[in-house]
Amino acid sequence: MSAHLPDMILELANVEASYGPVQALRGVTLAVPKGKIVTVLGANGAGKSTILKTISGIIDPSKGQIRFEGGEIQSRDPAWIVRRGISHVPEGREVFPLLTVEENLRMGAYTRSDAEGIAQDIDMVYAYFPILKERFRQEAGLLSGGQQQMLAISRALLSRPALMLMDEPSLGLSPLLTQEIFRIITRINREKGNTILLVEQNANMALEVADYGYVLEVGRIVMEDTCKRLLEKEDVQEFYLGMKAQGVRGQRRWKKKKQWR
């Protein structure tokens, strides 16, 4: 474990978490280097969202440590964690449906009070997602799914996070839109230097944009490597990329789809 390399912005050590009697995380250890994109892959119910919620302070871990920029942050209040520099793009977007696009963005900046900086950052996300600028007075609930995802990402950028947690940003989007979203995620990472921890079902996409990857199975990390090497591993190809021997390919595809919603 690379626990004490100074360039790790986030480290989880043996984190366990449960929902009542259901144990969702069974000792997760992972590290995210500053300025990089790290992805966590896993099937439905593996515990991917739970990892992110535990980092955000929505769920308290029952065991283990979470270190962010050197300090322990586990079990802290979500608002405190946002102020420390972590923001969360939740699964399923979770925009405020009756607030306008711009009000949603302002809520993303809730922890800040520098009016000028906020205005600049709103212009910045409008540059990334021009459609949001066109719709800035529209209720967020009336946006399309893809536009809502853009809004959710933008809203998370508004707190000027050092680390962004993204939970399945491709959920429910067309392949084309998924590509666009991922292109912008890499742009944000390169231009703004935000570190990104990305949870995905779309393993192809995630492994393409990320630097390092973990594979999660029922609450445990079962594999980790650079994305380049993960792409080459046979079982990753088989289970997460749907690439088996040519003959059964069609059938596998269908199965995969069903299992991965």
Partner 1 sequence: MLLAGVAQGCVYALVALGFVLIYKATETVNFAQGDLMMLGGFFALTSSVILGWPYWATILFAVVAMAAVGMLIERLVLRPVLGQPAFTVVMITIGVGYVLRGVVTMIPGWGTETYTLPTPFSEGTFKVGEVIFAVQQLAVIGMTAALVAALYVFFRFSKLGVAMQATSQNQLAAAYMGIPVRRVNMMIWGLSAGVAAFAGILLAPVTFVHSNMGFIGLKAFPAAVVGGFGSVPGAIVGGLIIGLVEAFAGRYMPEGFKDVAAYVVVLVVLMFKPSGIFGETARKKV
Ligand X SMILES: Nc1ncnc2c1ncn2[C@@H]1O[C@H](COP(=O)(O)OP(=O)(O)OP(=O)(O)O)[C@@H](O)[C@H]1O
Least distance between partner 1 and beta carbon 28 (Å): 20
Of 53-92, binders to Mg ion (CB under 5 A) are 91
**Contacted entry of partner 1, ligand X, Mg ion, none for residue 19, CB cut-off 5 to 8 Å set by kind:** ligand X
Does 117 participate in binding partner 1 (rule CB under 8 A)?
Answer: no
Least distance between partner 1 and beta carbon 111 (Å): 4
Alpha-carbon distance 192 to 180, whole Å? 18
Instruction: By CB under 6 A, name the binding residues for ligand X.
Output: 19, 22, 24, 42, 44-50, 91, 201
Does 160 participate in binding partner 1 (rule CB under 8 A)?
Answer: no
Angstrom CA distances, 56 to 41, 99, 243, stand at 19, 23, 34
Q: Which of 25, 28, 95, 207 binds partner 1 (CB under 8 A)?
A: 95
Does 114 participate in binding partner 1 (rule CB under 8 A)?
Answer: no
Q: Say if strands 8-19 and 71-72 run parallel, antiparallel, or are unpaired.
A: unpaired
The number of residues that bind partner 1 (CB under 8 A) is 27
User: Amino acid identity of 72?
Assistant: E
Angstrom CA distances, 105 to 29, 150, 212, stand at 33, 11, 30
Of 25-84, binders to partner 1 (CB under 8 A) are 56, 58, 77-79, 81-83
- Is 52:226 a contact under the CB 8 Å cutoff? no
Q: Which is nearer to partner 1, 103 or 180 (CB)?
A: 103
- Is 185:198 a contact under the CB 8 Å cutoff? yes
Q: Which is nearer to Mg ion, 16 or 103 (CB)?
A: 16
How crowded is residue 15: how many other Cβ atoms within 10 Å of its Cβ?
24
